[in-house]
Structure 1
Amino acid sequence: MDKKQENKKVFLEIVHQLRELIKHEGIQPGEKIPSERVLSERLNVGRSSVREALRSLELLGLIETRHGGGTFLSAVHSNQLVEILASFILQENKAVEDVHIVRRMHEKEAIRVICSEQSLRNLPVWESLFMKLELENEIVRDLLLRELIIASGNRLALKIWIQLVAYSSTPLKKVSTREEKPMLQMLIKSIQLGYEKEALNAYENWINFLRNSSS
């Protein structure tokens, strides 16, 4: 089992363990869940692995950490979300593609939102990214995507997107290539001008390029 698959397995074990604890011990929203040390001992995994999994769950709003007080269960509906998310990110084949699809849905919706609002189109980050491409011929891919989600103003979408990217096999954390430069510049410039159709087309062309390059 490679490192990525092992990390997914650990995450799933922690999610299942928390779900069982919540069910059998009757932990209610706002009540404390076991500590990193306890979970580490029960699962026989390193505390660093537990810490990363808990951090992911916190980003999704499923748990909350209180300084000096421990970690607590959030709203009941959040537990349903973690089950749904875990069932996708830790399965193979079609589920992996489902992760890509859901991630792209968030990214395309962010593009639509930004194109529809002048204040978002005029954010200085777009010109900065465009000039970085012009001068350096590259940017970190997920930097652009992250800025799209952030600019759209949907905090829940950002939390979910962060987790989808973490379990995506697309090499989004690498820098773009020269071949991608015109597609990325077209995407950014179309967003600045509010040309939704052109922006979405540029986005699709770029994503298809990445998929073909990694296949």
Structure 2
Amino acid sequence: MEEAKPSRKMFLEIVQELRSLIRNENIRTGEKLPSERVLAERLGAGRSTIREALRSLELLGLIETRRGEGTFLSDYRQHQLVDVLAAFIMQEPKSMEDVRQTMQIHEKDAVARASADCEVRQLPLWDSLTAAVSSDLPVRREDVIREILVAAGNRLSLKIWYLLNAYAKTPYAGNADAKERSAILEMIRAIQNGDGNGAREAYVRWAALVSEQRGN
């Protein structure tokens, strides 16, 4: 039975706990993971949050869901995209600004996809992000943008972004300040309302604030 209220626990935190569980229990490639219900009980999170976390791992090719069978650990080494992109960057080095602009293309697309998809707009993720950004607790910039990319559901875009983010030495490092939080909240509200233009405009303002903080 689904929980009455969605968990406020950030699902990226659940992703980290899932990875620890896989490592600690020595779950091997091809082996089955515990069910959503069991994971929810063991990790102290709602079923919907667990589902989002599993979805993010599946987008990265780390697990695979087989209809009627369950969720299984994938052989990530079979996914060659990261190796191909890494080799390309090494052979054709780009300036950090080129890399950052390419990241922004993927980020804008994720914001647009999230705004246009009714099911994505209904995810408890947005309420979790709103609660976190509205609180007095630190909010990592990278967590916010990564949550949006995962929610958008474009596996290829997500993998490219991960590689570029590492190459650019994590341009979203650090915590969002008050001005950034305001832009982030506006972006989230626009996404939930299906306002793609408003969401992109808020994203652009936030990206500019982050760039300003980096001194670019």
Shorter-chain TM-score: which interval?
0.5 to 0.7
Q: Secondary structure at the match of 2:95?
A: helix
**TM-score for the superposition, normalised by structure 1:** 0.59
* 1:166-177 map, 5 Å: 166-169=166-169, 171-177=171-177
The answer as to whether partners of 1:115 and 1:121 remain within 8 angstroms in 2 is yes
Q: CA deviation at 1:139?
A: 1.3
Q: Which amino acid aligns with 1:98?
A: D
* Counterpart Cα distance in 2 of 1:139 and 1:107: 18
Q: What amino acid maps onto 2:210 in structure 1?
A: L
Spell out the pairing of 1:59-208 with structure 2 (5 A cutoff): 81-87=85-91, 91=93, 95-136=95-136, 138-169=138-169, 171-208=171-208
Superposed CA offset, 1:88-135 (max 9, x none): 5xx4xx621111011111111111111111100111111111111112
Counterpart amino acid of 1:180?
E
TM-score between both structures, scaled by the size of structure 2: 0.59
- Aligned 8 A contact 1:99 1:164 in 2: yes
Partner of 1:37: none
The offset of 1:72, in angstroms, is: 6.8
Q: Counterpart amino acid of 1:154?
A: N
For residues 203 and 98 of structure 2, what CA distance do their matches in structure 1 show? 18
Counterpart contact for 2:115–2:121, Cα < 8 Å: yes
Aligned-partner SS, 2:191: helix
- SS of the residue corresponding to residue 136 of structure 1 reads coil
1:82 CA drift (Å): 3.7
Distance 1:102 1:60 in 2: 22
Identical residues among aligned pairs (%): 29
Q: Distance in 1 between matches of 2:182 and 2:173?
A: 19
Higher relative contact order (CA 8 A, sep 6+): 2
TM alignment of 1:48-63, pairs within 5 A: none
Q: Partner letter of residue 83 of structure 1?
A: A
CA distance in 2 between partners of 1:118 and 1:73 (Å): 33
CA contact (8 A) 1:141 1:174 kept: yes
How many equivalent residue pairs? 145
Contact 1:138–1:181 (8 Å) recurs in 2: no
Structure whose alpha-carbon radius of gyration is higher: 1
What is the deviation of 1:178? 1.4
Over aligned residues, Cα RMSD in angstroms?
2.8
Letter of the 1:156 counterpart: L
Give the Å deviation of 1:169: 4.7
Residues 121 and 74 (structure 1), Cα distance of their counterparts in 2 relative to 1, 3 Å cut: closer
